[in-house]
A = this chain, B = another copy of it.
Amino acid sequence: MFNVRTDLAMEVRELYKERTKQEVEGVSVDVEEMGNVNITRVDIMNDYGAQVMGKAKGKYITLECKALRRADADLKDEVSQTLAKELKKLVVIKENPKILIVGLGNWNITPDALGPKVVSKVFVTRHLFKMYNKEGDKDLAEVSAISPGVMGTTGLETSEIIRGIVEKSKPDMVIAVDALASRKMERVNTTIQISTSGISPGSGVGNKRMALDKESLGIPVVAIGVPTVVDAATLTSDTIEMVINEFSNEAIVGSQFYNMLGELKEQEKYNLIREILEPYGANLVVTPKEVDEVIVNMAQIIANGINIAVHPSIDLKDVNRYLN
């Protein structure tokens, strides 16, 4: 229950490497440094890799920009453009694409509201295509967008809602945006993960039937996620590990002390975490105080990236000057 929780493929791989000192078989990793933004490409190529990683097969591209937290407008623009460039490689740019953008998450819970906020900032055009009975346009893609809410407030599985809408409105692909959990504070609000393998709303629950992916929707799904919190249980668990490591480094290998350190049982760790986080358990998150403001900024960066990527004739100047 209180394991390290992360939604980032690059962190799952990082954890695996920390523990085993090797890469996962069937998973390729590539790191590219591009000025202010580092890109890590994790490709889960086969079922074995998927099983070890606990993640579906597919590409996971992570953009990291440490300076993003205190970014000026120029740096934000650079990140939007990098995002747009990576998205363009994944978005099937056939002639006249029809794209449905889905904002996952609960708009009443600030760190979970990223998806709905992005949806409120993307440039939606589908109704105009319908009004003028147009099949395509050389400047604009046909874009629709929806924030379906979360199961606790709708009573509906998100995948039911989206499947219904896909059947009725027939887009060529879905771009789904969600807030994620990272393992490390340094990645919170500085990291964007793009993936081709779909997304599981409320994925902690782990009901495979409910994924939004090519299998369930019949069309490609590109997921964009930003870690906006660290689970308090993950932070606590990591803290315990680090204290133990600290002692281990100082202890003589083979001493009684050294051995004891290795023996702090999972159950004892679990009890410690439980005691510290009572009575909230898994429902606690660690966030920067000014999370409301941060989420607005990230939503703008991502909406800009999507707007540039999907519409043939929209560029950075347009999103900054006309679409805000």
A binding-site residues for B, Cβ under 8 Å: 66, 69, 72-74, 108-112, 120, 124-128, 130, 142-149, 151-157, 160-161, 163-169, 185-186, 188, 232, 235-236, 238-240, 242-244, 246-247, 250-251, 255-257, 260-261, 264, 268, 272, 275-280, 283-293, 320-322, 324
How many Å from the CB of A241 to the closest CB on chain B? 10
Checking B74, B239, B283, B321 against A288 with a beta-carbon cut-off of 8 angstroms, the contacting residue is B283
How many Å from the CB of A55 to the closest CB on chain B? 23
Q: Say how many copies of this protein the assembly contains.
A: 4
For A120, the chain B residues whose CB sits under 8 A away are 108, 153
SS class of chain A's interface: helix, strand, loop or mixed? helix
A289 touches B153 (CB 8 A): no
A320 with B280, Cβ < 8 A, contacts A161-B168, A232-B286 known:
no
A160 touches B168 (CB 8 A): yes
How many Å from the CB of A323 to the closest CB on chain B? 10
Checking B66, B124, B276 against A153 with a beta-carbon cut-off of 8 angstroms, the contacting residue is B124
B285 touches A108 (CB 8 A): no
B322 touches A73 (CB 8 A): yes
B146 touches A148 (CB 8 A): yes
Checking B155, B247, B255, B286 against A125 with a beta-carbon cut-off of 8 angstroms, the contacting residue is B155
A155 touches B143 (CB 8 A): yes
A287 touches B288 (CB 8 A): no
CA distance A5 to B200 in the complex (A): 38
A152 with B164, Cβ < 8 A, contacts A284-B286, A292-B110 known:
no
Checking B155, B246, B264, B293 against A108 with a beta-carbon cut-off of 8 angstroms, the contacting residue is B293
For A232, the chain B residues whose CB sits under 8 A away are 185, 235, 286
How many Å from the CB of A53 to the closest CB on chain B? 24
B286 touches A286 (CB 8 A): yes
CA distance A269 to B265 in the complex (A): 22
Checking B73, B108, B167, B185 against A292 with a beta-carbon cut-off of 8 angstroms, the contacting residue is B108
